[in-house]
Amino acid sequence: MIPESIKYSVEDKKYKDDSVFQIINSNYLTLDDNHRKSNNEHLKLIVEEVFIPLMKEDELFNLLYKRIMWGGSYYKGTKYGVPNEFDLDFVLKLPIDYRNIQIRTNHDNYGYVKLEVDRTEPMSSNWQKHKKILDKWITSDDYLDRDRFNRWMQSVFEGAFRRLGGGTLKFDYTVRHSGRAYVMRYTKSGPAFTVIATTPEGSQIDIDMVPCFEFNNADLGNGYKRLNGYQKTWMVVSKPLPDYNEDGTILWRLCFYQHEKDLLKGDVKPVIRMMKKFRDTKDWRSIASYYIETIFYHELENRRNDLDNYLKASKTWLFMTALKKLREACRVRRLAYFWHPNHNLFERISNDELTIYAHTLEKIITRIDRQILENRYILAKEVLTRNEYLEIAPDMGFNPEPAVEEQAEPAPSKCIIL
């Protein structure tokens, strides 16, 4: 029930019934526990028992490697559907005193930083041991070059596959473990190396592997949100800007995954999954999952003085509030990056596309507002596909009216996912 201590309007109280939300959640938004457990076992075997040992046969990688950080929406608890795509970061540490690395944010490529290495200080013995490779990563201006690092990382990754293939690179590889066979192959897109594995049961799982460097929670300055209140580390990931930039090869993308995972309280996770389902039903591909999560980062921070009561509100009310926030962001053509207000996450989506999204959201919100008291199933009609809506009708105990047909949306633009 929506707590009275939050001054909601009388209109908002129409959203206190969560019965339809919970039916949608249990049927379409909740990951199967058995599938989750099975995939976790496969991931541990493929990554930790097969690939990491093979990669650590490279002496420098073995020196730099610290741990794996499993990331993405699956581990944030905001993914719905079949859990068959996974993200992981290889957390690496350079053999250098990190006090000799300056994090440069004095530029307008928000979400990216430059790493300046002070080479006037003596380098460690481990650096000297691998000087031939490591020195190549540093530019003449003393910045860590992402492209040069990525080329080395690719050689390590391909070397692991070559060892897996008995000294040759092949299209696919069969790995046997405890009498069970896995068939694997890999692709490369940008800095990410994707392992595509077919499990003994015949299901396919895709694992995106990206290298990163980890830093403490020191503040970044230059308008970035202060981090010293968050007892988490942050990282730089070897992912490029989406467009050409003269500093492109020395810009590293910031990643605040651990902070963001900590920010997302359990109560809002089903609502985020519902928002993603709504987005997918409408085929709004330009609205990245990270953009949806960003709406909640802002909302959770804005509500921090009354957060407990906010999180006790009905899931339906939280969903409608998020829809209205998305409508407003599309209307003004701006969604601020949570970690820096000057970065507009919508900057690469066309104005025409955002206008259509805003108008469509206005119609949907109005329709739900007007009908939900008399027809609580309107929520399912708007969130689900036509076939899903018809399929779920018996669970909700009613004979459905025809699902609402929306006009086709524009072709999605290519947008940066931060």
**At 161, which CATH number?**
3.30.460.90
- Residue-level pLDDT at 1: 46
How far, rounded to the nearest angstrom, does the alpha carbon of residue 267 sit from its chain's CA centroid?
A: 19
Confidence at 5, pLDDT banded by 50, 70, 90: very low
Confidence at 104, pLDDT banded by 50, 70, 90: very high
- How far apart are the C-alpha atoms of 234 and 220, rounded to whole Å? 10
- Whether residue 235 sits in one domain with residue 274: no
Domain-ending residue, one of 260, 295, 318: 260
* Among the ranges given (9-18, 259-268, 379-388), the one the predictor scored with the smallest mean pLDDT: 9-18
- pLDDT(415) > 50: no
Which residues in 236-263 are b (16+ Cβ under 10 Å) and which e?
Answer: bbbbbeeeeeeeebbbbbbbbbbbbeeb
- CATH number for position 334: 1.10.1410.40
The residue range of the domain holding 388 is 11-30+264-396
Confidence at 111, pLDDT banded by 50, 70, 90: very high
- Whether residue 163 sits in one domain with residue 47: yes
Asked if residue 407 is part of any domain, the answer here is no
- pLDDT(211) > 80: yes
Q: Which residue has the higher pLDDT, 187 or 356?
A: 356
- Whether residue 380 sits in one domain with residue 280: yes
- How far apart are the C-alpha atoms of 192 and 209, rounded to whole Å? 5
- Residue-level pLDDT at 408: 43
Confidence at 115, pLDDT banded by 50, 70, 90: very high
What's the mean pLDDT in 73-86? 86
- The alpha-helical segments, DSSP class H, found in 240-342 are 257-263, 269-282, 289-302, 307-312, 315-332
Confidence at 401, pLDDT banded by 50, 70, 90: low
- Residue-level pLDDT at 206: 92
Half-sphere exposure of 8 (CA within 13 A, CB side): 23
- Whether residue 319 sits in one domain with residue 216: no
Asked if residue 5 is part of any domain, the answer here is no
What rounded mean pLDDT belongs to the chain? 88
What percent of the chain has pLDDT above 90? 64
- How far apart are the C-alpha atoms of 241 and 253, rounded to whole Å? 8
- pLDDT(178) > 90: no
Asked if residue 408 is part of any domain, the answer here is no
- pLDDT(4) > 50: no
Domain-ending residue, one of 260, 294, 312: 260
- pLDDT(404) > 60: no
- Whether residue 288 sits in one domain with residue 245: no
Which pTM value belongs to this model? 0.89
- The alpha-helical segments, DSSP class H, found in 372-406 are 378-383, 386-396
Confidence at 412, pLDDT banded by 50, 70, 90: very low
Asked if residue 42 is part of any domain, the answer here is yes
- Whether residue 254 sits in one domain with residue 150: yes
Asked if residue 230 is part of any domain, the answer here is yes
- Whether residue 268 sits in one domain with residue 166: no
- Whether residue 211 sits in one domain with residue 64: yes
Asked if residue 206 is part of any domain, the answer here is yes
- Whether residue 329 sits in one domain with residue 236: no
- Whether residue 174 sits in one domain with residue 255: yes
Q: What are phi and psi of 335, to 5 degrees?
A: -130, 110
- Whether residue 41 sits in one domain with residue 186: yes
- How far apart are the C-alpha atoms of 46 and 44, rounded to whole Å? 6
For the chain, how many structural domains are there in total? 2
- Residue-level pLDDT at 247: 83
Asked if residue 404 is part of any domain, the answer here is no
Q: What are phi and psi of 93, to 5 degrees?
A: -135, 125
- Whether residue 330 sits in one domain with residue 256: no
Asked if residue 107 is part of any domain, the answer here is yes
Half-sphere exposure of 220 (CA within 13 A, CB side): 26
Confidence at 31, pLDDT banded by 50, 70, 90: confident
